[in-house]
Structure 1
Amino acid sequence: MLPIFEKYIKAQSTSFTDEEIRRIGAAAIQRKVRKKELLLNAGEVCRYKMFITKGFLRTYRIGSDGSEHLMQFSPELTWTTDGESYANRNPSDYNIDALEDSQLLLWSKDSFDALLTLIPALKAFSDQLISNNLHSSRNRIYKAISSTPEEKYEDFIRTYPGILLRVPLRMVASYLGMSVKTLSRIRQAQLQH
């Protein structure tokens, strides 16, 4: 898992020395999780920043009617956490689970905060990740309130190429905020063109 992470870090930033990359990796807990394994349960405090070296996670919330509202997909070479719960150590409203058998690197808040103090380049890198995530979230909200279902689907396919081969259609529909019937109709219309 660590060689994958090291390659990822080097591709993302030239600001880190090899020793800093080694130190960041050494502070991580390596964990393998099975498909459907829950990594964060709503009501618990999110204790880790997670980097996915292999596999696929999702972040979702359960509505008052029991329906799932999928907030984020996290494929290989991406980070995930519940930032609010992690940063403030308060109970999360979200669940995170594995959609596939996955391999993760986990950093506890105390461990990651120590690294931020030791490695200034990590602070800049982490801030950039947070900024990119905020930008993506705002774009997603904008598209959710301003785009047609067809535009939402097209944007989704661009953002997550190949995902339809990996997850059930109902999860994609949940992520896009539409019914499975609507999503199926859109997919069928695009296949006919």
Structure 2
Amino acid sequence: MHPEFEKYLKENTNLTPDDIHHISSKAVGKTLRRNELLLQSGNVCKQKVFIAKGLLRTYSIDANGNEHILQFAPEHSWTLDVESYDKEIPAETNMGAVEPTEVLLWHKDDFNNLLSEVPELNKLSQQIISRNIYYSRQRMLTTLSATPEEKYDDFIQRFPKLLTRLPLRMIASYLGISIKTLTRIRHNQLQR
């Protein structure tokens, strides 16, 4: 069992030690090097992913080679390409490690069985889905209507611990602004 995953479950659920052991026993651990892909565009996402340590990003690359980051997943969070996973179709996104990362993986059939066998895990899963829907809606509204300064301020409020872990180009990509604009915003904030 991975101690970080056990800690996460103890803090976020009322699972029994036996349930925690059962859930953990179905997981496969994997260590990723910096920039190593966990999922490549065109492959089917077949696993739920828990980040025990490190940081993943989910992104696409457009026809001009520009990277568009959709999501960051730091330690103690879950991620997957939901459309690829649910529909069992090729993913349109890549998922890769920003830094050395340790993940736990559950194959779809195993995880679905766990959801049936462990009601508390099913409850946690529904809470995570609800939070992700809410967050996606908020992110879409911010992306469509906020100024670059407001987007950066929102990022700082949501992810204060990621600022020192991410290169500026990734933050700019996530915000949908140029690195030049991000540099100007950061410079102006330092001047205040």
Measured against the shorter chain, the TM-score band is over 0.9
Map 1:1-193 → 2, pairs under 5 A: 2-14=2-14, 16-193=15-192
Question: Shift of the alpha carbon at 1:165?
Answer: 1.5
* Partner Cα separation in structure 2 for residue 4 and residue 162 of structure 1: 18
TM-score (norm 2): 0.97
Q: Which amino acid aligns with 1:3?
A: P
* Partner Cα separation in structure 1 for residue 32 and residue 95 of structure 2: 12
Structure 1: which 5+ runs fail to align?
none
* Partner Cα separation in structure 1 for residue 9 and residue 162 of structure 2: 24
**Cα RMSD (Å):** 1.0
Percent of matched pairs sharing the same residue? 50
* Partner Cα separation in structure 1 for residue 115 and residue 87 of structure 2: 17
- Kindly tell me the number of residue pairs found equivalent between the two proteins: 192
* Partner Cα separation in structure 2 for residue 151 and residue 168 of structure 1: 19
Question: Shift of the alpha carbon at 1:164?
Answer: 2.4
Q: Secondary structure at the match of 1:162?
A: helix
* Partner Cα separation in structure 2 for residue 11 and residue 146 of structure 1: 36
Q: Secondary structure at the match of 1:52?
A: strand
* Partner Cα separation in structure 2 for residue 161 and residue 28 of structure 1: 30
The one-character-per-residue Cα deviations of 1:28-66 (angstroms, maximum 9, x if unpaired) are: 001111111111000100011111111111000111222
